A and B are shown apart, each in its own frame.
Chain A
């Protein structure tokens, strides 16, 4: 079988064709910004694509894990003011890492409860999934308001990650660089787990053919719970990073990302982690390039991108064989 390389070329081509349209330093700035945004979107979206791929479950409450992560960032970084304000990159990064970890744990725990109490009951009906997870989203937003209040909250960004530095004439925000670093590391971890471990193998097999995995003697249900919790935790991490990036957090921060996340997992091919990563970077880049070149089109550019990709490849860039 010859390897299908076309979908791998989309991101490089988009990055290259925009280069002549602007100055090189501007292009570098936008590309780093786009990559950072893409990494954060990837973290937020990765769980959703696997949950859908494995069990055909549509979870419209996924944004709640993002919101939760963002508010955990407010609380944790607020308490670590000594670290975030310290004149030490080490302590600054440590504070961010603590927030990331706390966001992952909190969102993972809530995800476990959500799977047990709600999602498990509606495995076989998309309509019920949509209705009940939408309901869950509303409840979650209210719970966030109960705990953190209805006012937008400021996130104390660690000092070393504020502002930007110049690299060959291009302004680079330090926080974006940190986001790219974390995103690449987590992508590598997810990729390794999926490709090098038995559990990962089972997840990939289950996305393709759930029945056969069961007929080989494995409980897909357990696998699914694991993926759901891991996906929620990743969304929590994405929420922490996104909240710190935005600097202001509201109860709707997760909902605002939901449409974008669905666009990303559809462009990437439902169930594909590679696709999710490529599509997230693609969306991040085009958002930034279009926002600079033709700001008026920024709003519609992601939808247009999705339409174009689907016209070319109706099942996304990296379609998963389904049986």
Chain B
């Protein structure tokens, strides 16, 4: 088996005095969409932030594309080819849609073909091109946040709960977007509590609880095993359907 694109081994993270991650093991294989599930407060966001260097791991190893990035700083991690879409989306509201996107390009120029692909996925961004991003709706902001991650080729896209607070129609639209990304074999690590979305998109799945990964496997197996689902996800399913 080839080395996974991203791997975490025994990762611990402290935030201030609090010990949040207690030895997270996680692999994200190249070319797959891996879903990270888990109830509220399980440590999903903390895991993503630790990968990005926004929190520092106090123990354990994080490897990306054959490199140890455990102690690397956020800009360097990003430059290795990881795009991060945070839970709060991280849209610069005072900047226009165009300005938000241009900051996601390394040279400050758009690749016309990729930009067209982004517009094909989310046409509304084209009509709002010169509008302040602060005026977009929640769903449009999420589309912009995801577009920022794909406006240039990246090796890995890390997305934290993109459907949170969005209307069902918008969620369907986003699912369509992720499907197109999957077809282009983009590697994705997706935190998602919406099991409908998780099941329809995930190749691999990892379930977190209390700062650890308590289950890892194929999404198809989890989707077929209702007993396992209710054991692992009972709580989060009950609260999200």
Binding site for B on A (CB under 8 A): 1, 198, 201-202, 204-205, 208-209, 211-220, 320-321, 323
Contact = CB atoms under 8 A, between A and B. Distances in A.
Nearest to A1: B135
Nearest to B92: A205
A320 B94 contact: yes
Interface stretch (B99-107, B114-122, B220-228): B99-107
B54 interface: yes
Interface of A is mostly: helix
B103 A205 contact: yes
A209 B74 contact: no
A201 B124 CA distance: 23
Interface in B50-78: 52, 54, 73-75, 78
B92 A209 contact: yes
A321 B74 contact: no
A175 B70 CA distance: 58
26 contacts: A1-B134, A198-B102, A202-B103, A204-B92, A204-B94, A205-B92, A205-B95, A205-B103, A208-B95, A211-B74, A211-B86, A212-B90, A214-B54, A214-B73, A214-B75, A214-B78, A215-B54, A215-B74, A215-B84, A215-B86, A216-B148, A217-B75, A217-B78, A220-B75, A321-B134, A323-B90
Interface in B74-97: 74-75, 78-79, 84, 86, 88, 90, 92-95
Interface residues of B, number: 26
A113 to B, nearest CB: 24
Contact of B132 (A1, A205, A220): A1
Contacts of A215: 52, 54, 74, 78, 84, 86, 90
A321 B100 CA distance: 15
A201 B103 contact: yes
A109 to B, nearest CB: 27
B209 interface: no
Contacts of B210: none
From B79, B84, B86, B90, residue with most partner A Cβ within 10 Å = B90
Contacts of A219: 73, 75
B104 A216 contact: yes
Contacts of B134: 1, 321
B125 to A, nearest CB: 16
A137 to B, nearest CB: 31
B86 A208 contact: no
Contact of A201 (B75, B84, B88, B102): B102
From B92, B93, B106, B108, residue with most partner A Cβ within 10 Å = B92
B30 interface: no
Interface of B is mostly: loop
Contacts of B99: 201, 205
Nearest to A211: B54
A38 to B, nearest CB: 24
Contacts of A220: 75
A168 to B, nearest CB: 41
A209 B145 CA distance: 14
Contacts of B95: 201, 204-205, 208
Interface in B124-152: 131-132, 134-135, 148
Contacts of A217: 75, 78-79, 106
Given A1-B131, A219-B73, 20 more contacts: A1-B132, A198-B102, A198-B103, A201-B95, A201-B99, A202-B103, A204-B92, A204-B94, A211-B74, A211-B90, A212-B86, A212-B90, A214-B54, A214-B74, A214-B75, A215-B78, A218-B75, A218-B103, A220-B75, A323-B88
Contacts of B108: 198
Contacts of A323: 88, 90
Nearest to B135: A1
A304 B135 CA distance: 33
A30 B148 CA distance: 50
B150 to A, nearest CB: 13
A212 B95 CA distance: 13
B52 A208 contact: no
B86 A321 contact: no
A209 B131 contact: no
B124 to A, nearest CB: 15
Contact of B93 (A202, A211, A321): A321
A201 B108 CA distance: 11
A108 to B, nearest CB: 25
